[in-house]
Structures are given as C-alpha cells and as structure tokens.
Amino acid sequence: MNNREVAQIFADVADMLSIRGDIIHRVLSYRRAAEAIQELGRDVNQVYAAGELTDIPGIGKTLADKIEEMLTTGKLAFYEKLAEEIPPTLVEMLKVDGLGPKRVKQVYETLGIATLAELTTAAQEGKLRDLPGLGAKSEAKLVAAIAALARHGDDRTPIETAWPLAYEILAELEQLPGVQKTAVAGSLRRMKESIGDVDLLLAADDPQPIMDYFVNMPRVESVSGHGPTKSSVVLHNGMQVDLRILPAERWGTLLSYFTGSKDHNVRLREMALKKGLSLNEHAFTPIDGGDEILCASEEALYKVFNLPYILPTLREDRGEIEAAQKGQLPDVVRLEQIVADLHMHTTWSDGKMSVLQMAQAAQARGLKYMAITDHSHSLGIVNGLTPERLWQQAEEIAAANEVMGPDFRILHGTEMEIRADGTLDFADEVLARLDFVIASLHVSLTQPREQVMKRIMSALENPHVDMIGHPTGRLLPDRPGADLDMEVVLQTAVTTGTILEINANPRRLDLRDSHVRRAMELGVTLAINCDAHHPDQFELLHYGVATAQRGWATPDRVVNTWPLEKLLGFLAKRK
C-alpha cells in the first residue's frame, strides 16, 4: 500500500467512527494520522522499513501497528470489522453540505440508505421529509447541496495545497548544478483557485542529470514519463507534477507556452501566423523558412507582437490582448502597494495573538495601519464580543497605539455577524463609535436566495457598515457559499458606497475573480484583507492580490492601498 491508500483508510475510519458516535478524541486521532501520512514527504514503506513510524507526528505505537498491518497484509482488520457495522459508502454522504454524522446515521438506520446515489433519489422523491428534525424545507436544502456537490466536486487541487508544494520542489531543484532559471507555470502561475496538476519549468544546458534527480526525489510515488526535456511524476499525496527543461535562450517561449491559458495561447499563435510565423515552446519559426526567432524572456515574446508584457494573472483571453493592442491594459494592483489590512482577529475572539502583537507583525511587513475586527457576540463559538467587551478592547487598542507611535495606526473595528433572521449583531449607536465596521455571513448559508439576500441587503443598506467581509461565505473546495444575486449585491454596493472584500485566505478567495471583474466594471470599492488569526497569515496576502489582478482591479479602487487620511475621509463621507 502507498501513502494515499494508508491515509485514505485512516480518514475513512475517522469518518465511520464519527458516524457511529465514538468519542471525538478517538475520531481526531485517526483524522490526524491520515493528515500526517498524506503530508509525509517520504514513502511510508521506507519509513516503516527504517523503523521510524512512531517518528511521524501523531503516530503512536497503536497506530504504527495498524500501519504495519496495512503495509504487510494490504488490509486493516479493524477497518473491515468496522465496515460490517458502518458501511464505508456512508462516508461519501458526509461530503454533502449540511449533512453531519448524526444525520447520516439516522438516514441509514431509519431508511436503509447507504450510498450518496440512494440519498439523492430519496431526497428527490420526498422520502426524507418525514424523518425527525428534517421536513420539506430541509429536504429541499439537501437536494440543492447534493446538486452543488455534483457541480463543484472534481479532482482539482486547491491553490493553498498546490502553491507551497510547488515552490518546495522548485527550491530543491534550484540547488542542482546547471540550473539557470526556474518557474512555476500553468494555472498555478495564473493563480487560479484550483489546479489540475503542477507544471514546473527550468532552464539548463544539460537536463539529463536534473531529470534523473527529479524522478528519484523521495516524495515521488511513481513515474509517468522520463525523457530528456519532459518528465512526469505522481507524488505520494496523489498530485501530478510535470517538469520541462529547455536552454535559457528559449526561456521566454517556454514560460509563455506552459503558463497558458490555452485560449490565450491560441490567440498568440493566430497572431503569429498572420506574421508568417509559427509559435511553440521552442521559438518563433518563419513558415516560409529561415532562422528561428528565440525569446529569452516573455517580454521579448510580446515585443514580437508589438505588445506590452501581459501579467500571467491576466492571460485568460478575456480581453487582455485587445486591451494591450489599444494601450489600455489595466495597471492592476500589486502586492507592494498594499499598506493596510482591515480584517483581522486577536485573542479577544478566535485569534492567537494580542492586539499589540498583531500590530507589530503588520508593521514588520511594511503596513502603515490596520483594523482590529474581532467577531461579534452572536457567533458564540468563537468567543465573540459583546458591546461591553468592545469598549474594554478599545482601551487595549488605545494603549497599543501609544506603544506603536505616530508612524502606525490601529483602528478599532468589528466583524459583525449578519444573523440568520437578517438583523445585525450590534445596534447603530454601538457601530457609530467604531472606526471600521465589517458585516459578514457565517451561518445559515444554505437559506433560499430571497432570504439570504434580505440579510446581505440589511447590511449593505446600513450606513454604519463599511465593508462586507467574504461576501458569499464560501470555503474551498467543498462549501459553495450563499446563493447571492451578485449583480444586485455589486450594484447596491456602488449605490451605498460599501466596500466589498476580497478575502485573501486561499480557502475563501471571496470575492472570486469573476465577481471582482464585474465589480470593476460597475465601480465598486474593494479591499484585500488576510482575515488573519495569527501573524503568519499575513503571508496569505499574495493570494488575494492575485485574485484582484485576475479581476483587473486597479489600486485606486482598493482602499488598503490608500493613505490612512484618504480612507478616513472616504468613510466619513459615505456615512
């Protein structure tokens, strides 16, 4: 058995135990074991052979014995015994948003439903509504959630997983003799929210030893191809990684070709043909014969077309070539232009650091000001603040501002819950005393569109609400978020002057890039925030900036590129 198979069995055991109703600590021990094996950079068989299974985080003797059993026999007796009581097919039902372990157990024991297909049929035929605690409305929600799973479920990898892994491998390859240039390519370089596989590019004159090293890296499970300029491998976590190597003088065409998108590349090739040239990853080649035109950089490639350089995040054939031809390519927001973060959490709610620690970390990253926006009280699971605690927090923020001095400013804000009934967590007189107010959806995201739209509109139309945080509330890859009429949301934000957030956490990326593009067309004011609960999460900012770029967002419309005085003036004017 390989890493993925061992991890999958442990993950399934965890889910089956949760359905059975075992204590949470037992469930978590298997879940953590699954994650540890999944993230293991070595073949678990090699770890076992070296006698080092218990060196894996979260793996004690009991779990190590179970791993040994799987590796030596190809099965796990505990799993097979558990499967007699809890069919493994029940695990698939847990992927349905809103369907927890207790409900899965209920539909299995009451109706004998053991598969997602059977659940789908039963829900569509109205056979679930009579179960205790369900009803017709809940049944309809399940039908919608199953449909959403069918739409969104695929084999693509979230960017939060692919990005760090790709750069870890690239950093390792960079150290090899003869490597001159390196880059991540494909949809990952274009910063799409999920990717199919990882494309890595290198420039070198002698690729063979590099290719040999690549296919024999410890994290490689199997080799799909091993050639002089291209190799493909599958890692222990199941991701496919392709490596291509060409000489440095061909770097520009190589990088452009394998960055894509496919549609952008088709346009470039069509334009090349009109110039009497063919274009591929190696070079431009005159159709009627003659010497190749080599491009050592992408800038040189675009110069052949008399075009300015087009950022990878724009290369989706959504008008970027026409804009470049007209000299109207947007000067999109850049990472270094962000001078503030207006959404973060501290130990006052569910954050890990104090106000002062977050401020010092923000300043160390080059920011000039920030807003502390801990959760409000109705989100009780995260220790949300009551008005009384808000004013206690104000004292700590004032003290932290004294320590930070005149070159940095901490604004006092809140991330206020938009309740399920549409009311807001704080009264207007409370909101009026704060520097910055965020309103967000966290609960009851599966409400019908009419109902959830009333909730978001109540926040948009409140003059004290400065920003809507992560508007749809989605969580990638499994929770699609609220069914908002985004056109109405965007147009209302223009009318009210409410800022809409691009949440940089790669599990959110909300607004998504297509909504950002429409927001730019309508004139919406935006912010890019990390929603940090720890200083380390300031490192997520580049994901949000890339999403903004994919939506053609320019810095003049992104409030946290503004000086503090401009932001405060904007907030005062809209109120």
The pLDDT of residue 137 = 81
With tokens 């003036």, the residue in question is 569
**Do 464 and 508 fall within a single domain?**
yes
For residue 550, being part of any structural domain is answered with yes
Cβ(542)–Cβ(335) under 8 Å? Answer: yes
The overall average pLDDT reported for the chain is 93
**Residue 141, domain member (yes or no):** yes
Q: Containing domain of residue 498, as a range?
A: 335-574
- Whether 453 maps to a domain, the answer reads yes
Residue 527 lies in a domain: yes
C-beta neighbour count of 477 within 10 angstroms = 17
The CATH number covering residue 7 comes to 1.10.150.110
**Would you say residue 319 lies in a domain?**
yes
Tens digit of pLDDT for each residue in 104-120?
999 899 999 998 889 88
**Could you tell me if residue 462 is inside a domain?**
yes
Given 325, 353, 381, which residue is the final one in a domain?
A: 325
Q: Are residues 429 and 472 in the same domain?
A: yes
Question: Are both 222 and 300 inside the same structural domain?
Answer: no
For residue 517, what is the domain's CATH number? 3.20.20.140
pLDDT, position 322: 96
* Domain identity same for 457 and 544: yes
Question: Is 212 found in the same domain as 86?
Answer: no
Domain finish residue from 302, 325, 348: 325
Q: Tell me the chain's radius of gyration from C-alpha atoms.
A: 26
Q: Domain boundary residue among 201, 225, 246?
A: 246
Same domain, 361 and 503: yes
Confidence of residue 267 (pLDDT cuts 50, 70, 90): very high
pLDDT value at 153 more than 60: no
Do both 417 and 462 map to the same domain? Answer: yes
Is 388 part of a structural domain of the chain?
yes
Per the document, the length of the chain is 575
The CA-atom distances, in angstroms, between 407 and each of 143, 156, 355, 365 are 54, 44, 16, 14
Same domain (yes/no): 405, 485: yes
DSSP string, 451-510: HHHHHHHHHHT-TT--EEESTT--BTTTB------HHHHHHHHHHHT-EEEEE--TTT-B
Least confident interval from 113-117, 131-135, 404-408: 131-135
* DSSP letter assigned to residue 539: G
Q: Tell me, what's the pLDDT at 2?
A: 86
- Co-location of 300 and 399 in the same domain: no
Give residue 224's pLDDT band: very low, low, confident or very high (50, 70, 90). Answer: confident
Q: How confident is the model at residue 123 (pLDDT cuts 50, 70, 90)?
A: confident
Residues 442 and 456 in one domain: yes
Cβ-contact 294, 283 below 8 angstroms: yes
pLDDT for 498 equals: 98
Separation in Å, CA 128 to CA 21, 114, 322, 453? 21, 14, 53, 27
188-202 pLDDT tens trace: 999 999 898 999 999
pLDDT confidence of residue 138: 80
Same domain, 50 and 144: yes
Residue 330 lies in a domain: no
pLDDT in tens, 503-512: 999 999 999 9
Q: Are residue 267 and residue 231 in the same domain, yes or no?
A: no
pLDDT number for residue 150: 67
CATH no. for residue 263?
3.30.210.10
Average pLDDT over residues 310-322: 95
Residue-level pLDDT at 99? 82
Which residue matches tokens 């300031």? 538
- Domain CATH for 195: 3.30.460.10
pLDDT for residue 148: 64
Q: What is the tally of structural domains in the chain?
A: 4
Percentage of the chain lying above the pLDDT 70 cut? 98
31-74 pLDDT, tens digit per residue, is 989 988 877 767 899 899 999 999 988 899 999 999 999 999 99
